[in-house]
Amino acid sequence: MTNHHRYPLLFSPLDLGRTQLKNRVLMGSMHTGLEEAPGGFERLARYFVERVRGGVGMIITGGIAPNAEGGHGVDISHEDEIQQHRCITSVVHGADPDVKICMQILHMGPLAPTSLCVAPSAIKSRIARHTPRELDEAGIQKQIRNFADCAVMAQQAGYDGVEIIGSAGYLISTFLVQRTNLRTDAWGGSFDNRMRFAMEVVKAVRAAVGLDFILIFRISAMDMLDGGLAWSEILQLAHALEAEGVNIISTHFCWHEAPVPTIATRVPRAAFTSVTGRLRRALTIPLITSNRINMPQVAEDVLARGDADLISMARPMLADPELVNKARDGREDEINTCIACNQACLDHTFGREQVSCLVNPRACRETLLNYVQTIKPKRLAVVGAGPAGLAFATIAAQRGHKVTLFEASDEIGGQFNLAKRIPGKEEFHETLRYFGRMLTLNGVDVRLNTRADAAQLKLQQFDEVVIAAGIVPRQPALEGINHPKVVSYLDAILARKPIGQRVAIMGAGGIGFDVAELISHAGTSAATDVKVFAREWGIDFINHPRGGVTGVQPHVETSGRSITLMQRKTDPVGKGLGKTTGWAHKMALARRNVRMVNGVEYLKVDDQGLHTRVHGEPTLFEVDTVIVCAGQLPLRTLFDEVSALGLPAHLIGGAFEAKELDAKRAIDQASRLAAEI
């Protein structure tokens, strides 16, 4: 049964003149870290092939630098490197000759992590390690030649085309934007001059590869930079690219250094596609849009609004390689949705770790982690239906084991039922929907409202027991900890106890930050409404001032509470948050006047408030509520009891280790155990 009637636009082919795309979904470019890993190209080939079999129409590879000054040292300039890339293109085309694969040429310019880095002017980016060397005329000509040579090698390696990235603060975009291009020669000054480099690169590439090779240019359609590109400049560049024979323009929405979140879970779905739509109405060639499009209906709606011709999904393809086929077959409820957490993908890229996915630990490990049918089915009991128990139960059952899942509460999800209540974490609902469906599909016997105990498990004669019982919140030993004004994070998030107007949050880990978000918040969640999001981050989608943000003041609604988020450590508060999302979390709280204090020693709680020493200074926080977010302890008693009865038992998730626990580790550990049990 196909579902083309439900997503008629998503599943319509796109004619590019000399070639055709079979549908409107492309897998956007992501650097995975496999590029540099031993045996990485074979692993990349398998990773791509699973997405090809999963139904995507086109793939853009992770960025490949055209020369040493442009990237991480991954390039394509020798015969043996071309050969490595052939291993990807041949496998992809072998799996489905109708799927196109294009190589992204990424010259990082001033963001390249090398002292050799270059730029139009010697201006160091706020987020770069090095000050770039200013290019002279010969240097500019060399860069242009290197782009063209790189494209030729991509063609020799069997790619169907290339995507040139002209956005994000990388080389080409630094020529385009005034504040990074201070040149007074023919490559700087007027916009005609600033766009010359982009155009010369495109001309050289087109001349080198001929007309049959797909040429995509990624433009910064709203760079979220104060003093960024004006709408008239974007239009002028896009028209020039079209005239120069670019086949597709891909729209991008920020520079890496922009102080606006553009892909995190706090960003509404499809938030930026109206910008692509405006550009599309001025052009005749197809446009790609992207950012937070994670489900087929969202993509179909974007196409129906006329905002784009093609939908780029990058992270959603990590989360579920079969997304497109599931949409086609009417199995949307089986899609493992990308929740835009960045925890296992972008945070890893920026931490120089290999990429995977929080909700799908197989991503980028397709050759290493496989869920093969068991030849020895076992009767397995799983205790706890949090992320760890859910992941274990579904995979073990899928492999053919007979699984019974015990959950003490009346719903599956564990702490995700708390997380999903935090404004900006609405996507966590999707993970619970996915697991709910997987439990049914794989025939897991789910016993809600059932607190498992050791004797019962023994009686039921399970072969093995998996304890995924999670954690208990830590209760610091402190005078006055039982005072009525002290509230646990559970009671605060579940609104089981009233929260006053003056609040101290004890503990500034992930949960402390989320509690601060929840209780400082008022009105509609920005993650569910583009207008609120634009207002909170100071974006003007209608008038499109320079960069979309120049001269626009952010405006946030607040609950009006006076909130202090505190920790004992003297490190900056929020240091442990996600690399690519923590800054936005901190900025959002600061805009709601949440104070952050480190170096706190807690003394006691009484009617006056919370007595502390802050960096040694006696300090009284006159608060009416103290919310305890002081970490968690593993819930292991059941494991000890079960083991004492001689039942083989395993520990996973928070029950195994509460320190530095997150859902990424819980799901990963559970999936690995389920793969081998």
By annotation, the residues acting in catalysis are 170
Nearer to ligand SF4, 286 or 423 (CB): 423
509 binds ligand NAP (CB under 6 A): yes
Contact mark string toward ligand FAD, 642..661, x via CB under 6 A: -----------xx------x
387 binds ligand FAD (CB under 6 A): yes
Angle in degrees, 0-180, between the axes of helices 231-243 and 196-209, rounded to the nearest 10: 20
Binding to ligand FAD, residues 116-145 (CB under 6 A): none
Point out the residue whose Cβ comes nearest to ligand NAP.
Answer: 509
**Binding test (CB under 6 A) with ligand NAP, winner from 33, 161, 261, 512:** 512
Instruction: Find the part of the chain contacting ligand FAD (CB under 6 A) among 6-14, 43-51, 383-391, 431-439.
Output: 383-391
Closest by Cα among 312, 368, 318 to 344? 318
491 binds ligand NAP (CB under 6 A): no
Contact mark string toward ligand FAD, 463..502, x via CB under 6 A: -----xxxx---------------------x---------
359 contacts 667 by C-beta, under 8 angstroms? yes
For 126, residues 6+ apart whose C-beta sits below 8 A from its C-beta are 257
**Binding test (CB under 6 A) with ligand FAD, winner from 77, 156, 274, 409:** 409
> Which residues pair with residue 618 across a beta bridge?
613
49 binds ligand SF4 (CB under 6 A): no
358 contacts 344 by C-beta, under 8 angstroms? yes
10 contacts 303 by C-beta, under 8 angstroms? yes
DSSP symbol at 322:
T
229 binds ligand FAD (CB under 6 A): no
Rounded Cα distance, 577 and 63, in Å: 26
223 contacts 254 by C-beta, under 8 angstroms? yes
Q: Whose structure tokens read 């650097």?
A: 31
Q: Whose structure tokens read 């242009």?
A: 144
Rounded Cα distance, 513 and 268, in Å: 20
Please, what is the minimum distance in Å from the beta carbon of residue 355 to ligand FAD?
A: 16
**Binding test (CB under 6 A) with ligand NAP, winner from 630, 674, 675, 677:** 630
Rounded Cα distance, 386 and 513, in Å: 21
Rounded Cα distance, 564 and 55, in Å: 49
Binding to ligand FAD, residues 243-262 (CB under 6 A): none
383 binds ligand FAD (CB under 6 A): yes
536 binds ligand FAD (CB under 6 A): no
Nearer to ligand FAD, 146 or 343 (CB): 343
- Decide: helix, strand or coil at residue 277: helix
Pairing relationship of beta strands 310-313 and 214-220 according to DSSP bridges: unpaired
307 binds ligand NAP (CB under 6 A): no
Q: Whose structure tokens read 């001349």?
A: 207
DSSP symbol at 412:
S
In degrees and rounded to multiples of 5, residue 673 shows phi and psi of -65, -40
Cα dihedral sign, 67-73-77-78: positive
**Binding test (CB under 6 A) with ligand FAD, winner from 34, 224, 388, 549:** 388
Binding to ligand SF4, residues 257-316 (CB under 6 A): 315
584 binds ligand FAD (CB under 6 A): no
Rounded Cα distance, 401 and 677, in Å: 9
Rounded Cα distance, 652 and 641, in Å: 16
370 contacts 340 by C-beta, under 8 angstroms? no
**Binding test (CB under 6 A) with ligand SF4, winner from 341, 467, 478, 677:** 341
596 contacts 577 by C-beta, under 8 angstroms? no
Contact mark string toward ligand FAD, 436..455, x via CB under 6 A: ---------------xx---
Nearer to ligand FAD, 250 or 343 (CB): 343
* Contacted entry of ligand NAP, ligand FAD, ligand SF4, none for residue 118, CB cut-off 5 to 8 Å set by kind: none
Contact mark string toward ligand SF4, 479..518, x via CB under 6 A: ----------------------------------------
**Binding test (CB under 6 A) with ligand FAD, winner from 40, 161, 510, 609:** 510
Q: Which two tokens stand for residue 570?
A: 């003297």
Rounded Cα distance, 114 and 24, in Å: 37
Binding site for ligand NAP (CB under 6 A): 343, 474, 476, 506-512, 514, 567-569, 578, 629-632, 660-662
Binding site for ligand SF4 (CB under 6 A): 315, 318-319, 338-345, 357-359
Binding site for ligand FAD (CB under 6 A): 341, 343, 383-389, 406-409, 414-416, 418-419, 422, 451-452, 468-471, 493, 510-511, 514, 635, 638, 653-654, 661-664, 666
